Amino acid sequence: GENVEQHPSTLSVQEGDSAVIKCTYSDSASNYFPWYKQELGKRPQLIIDIRSNVGEKKDQRIAVTLNKTAKHFSLHITETQPEDSAVYFCAAPWGGMDTGRRALTFGSGTRLQVQP
Amino acid sequence: DGGITQSPKYLFRKEGQNVTLSCEQNLNHDAMYWYRQDPGQGLRLIYYSQIVNDFQKGDIAEGYSVSREKKESFPLTVTSAQKNPTAFYLCASVFDGDTEAFFGQGTRLTVV
């Protein structure tokens, strides 16, 4: 299946600093790259996604960048706050060109801790 | 209230027993997925279904089985062949192609 690698596995930052999480993928047919946030004991929820026709997308303090040539994409969180503390997962679709046969494959997750 | 519902929230299985986890959605989504999450790890794909009466194996299908007889339902059976079933199981659904996946609240399965 699709190989999605995510780094770092843990990240600790001071409140107000920026946090960056990076992912690489192997399937060149992938064209959709979402990021999910999972708080302790809760379900993952989508926070931002990007498609291959753009290189960057922003939503307030969150941004995602994509480099299709290098097959990597990154999540950027600026002005971090304690409520940003959670596990973040990147994902990419696996299964070839047919979107009707694809499924999301997730990275191993990054535990972000924002210290007050 | 639309959404995706998993039940039960907690499930205990005895050695050698089969158990079935329920996943129901009323979002009119075609695609449904099952993932397994182990402590400190990511989500690994067990099975997925893009349409009724059709499903495909994911990365870790051994010891699991599914059915998709109705669009709204995608139950997962953890069989006795799954040697290490203790984990958090998440069901998800997607409307179409590469769009947002909505997750259920999960079922925590423990072998006793």
Best residue in A98, A106, A110, A111 for a mutation probing chain B (most B CBs within 10 Å): A106
For residues A95 and A77, the model is more confident at: A77
Banded pLDDT at A100 (limits 50, 70, 90): low
Q: What is the pLDDT of residue A102?
A: 75
Average pLDDT, chain A: 91
Biggest distance spanned by C-alpha atoms of chain A: 46
Burial of B45 by CB count in 10 Å (0-12 exposed, 13-18 middle, 19+ buried)? buried
Q: How far is B56 from chain A (nearest CA, A)?
A: 9
pLDDT tens-digit series, residues A32-48: 999 999 998 899 999 99
Burial of B50 by CB count in 10 Å (0-12 exposed, 13-18 middle, 19+ buried)? buried
| Residue A11 CB-half CA count within 13 A | 27
Q: What is the pLDDT of residue B54?
A: 92
Per residue, what are the HEC states of A27-41? CCCCCEEEEEEECCC
Say how far apart CA A58 and CA A81 lie, in whole Å.
17
Which CA distances in Å does B79 have to B20, B69, B85, B106, B110?
A: 9, 19, 9, 18, 13
Question: B 52-111 residues with CB below 8 A of A?
Answer: 56, 58-59, 90, 92, 94, 96-101, 103-106
For residue A97, pLDDT beyond 60:
no
For residue B2, pLDDT beyond 70:
no
Q: What is the pLDDT of residue B40?
A: 77
Pairing between strand A56-59 and A45-51?
A: unpaired
Average pLDDT, chain B: 92
pLDDT tens-digit series, residues B84-108: 999 999 999 998 767 889 999 999 9
Q: What is the pLDDT of residue A93?
A: 84
Write the residue in A42, A89, A94 that is nearest to B43 by C-beta: A89
Banded pLDDT at B1 (limits 50, 70, 90): low
For residue A96, pLDDT beyond 60:
no
Banded pLDDT at A99 (limits 50, 70, 90): low
Are B75 and B21 a contacting pair, CB within 8 Å?
Answer: yes
Q: What is the pLDDT of residue B95?
A: 86
pLDDT tens-digit series, residues B11-46: 998 888 999 999 999 999 999 999 999 987 889 999
Burial of B107 by CB count in 10 Å (0-12 exposed, 13-18 middle, 19+ buried)? buried
SS3 A100: helix
For residues A54 and A60, the model is more confident at: A60
